[in-house]
Amino acid sequence: MVLMKTAQVVVLGASPKEDRYSNQAVKALLANGYQVIPIHPMCETIHGIACAHSLAEIQGPVDTLTVYLNPERSSQIVDSILKVNPRRLILNPGTENPELVRQAEAQGILVQEACTLVLLSTGQFDK
């Protein structure tokens, strides 16, 4: 049995399609005991977890916000991302966004350009 960790992890761009990395990240985070909130504008659940339809629905402190949106899409919601004020922002491969990085770091948010799945599989997610 995996014990639930207190860290709330938001997966921005979560997909119900099992071949997508964002879907695999939700599954791996759950398997590792994290409290996961998938964000998808139209999907109700992913791996049995209720989806939020936007960042505006997020309640409480967020430890990690892991991004699976391309830079064009994340640029459109920078203010919403910053309002969530996560401790850490992970930009997965293909989501790198220099303007988002600049603004997040200016707000004191730790930014990592890394792969959530790799961080989990190598035991580095909590570091």
In the chain, where the domains are located: 8-60+76-121
List of residues 6+ apart from 87 with CB closer than 8 A? 61, 62, 63, 64, 109, 110
pLDDT by residue for the chain (127 residues), tens only, comes to 444 567 799 999 999 999 999 999 999 999 999 999 999 999 999 999 999 999 999 998 999 999 999 999 999 999 999 999 999 999 999 999 999 999 999 999 999 999 999 999 999 998 7
Q: Which CATH number fits domain 8-60+76-121: 3.40.50.620, 3.40.50.1980, 3.50.90.10, 3.40.50.720?
A: 3.40.50.720
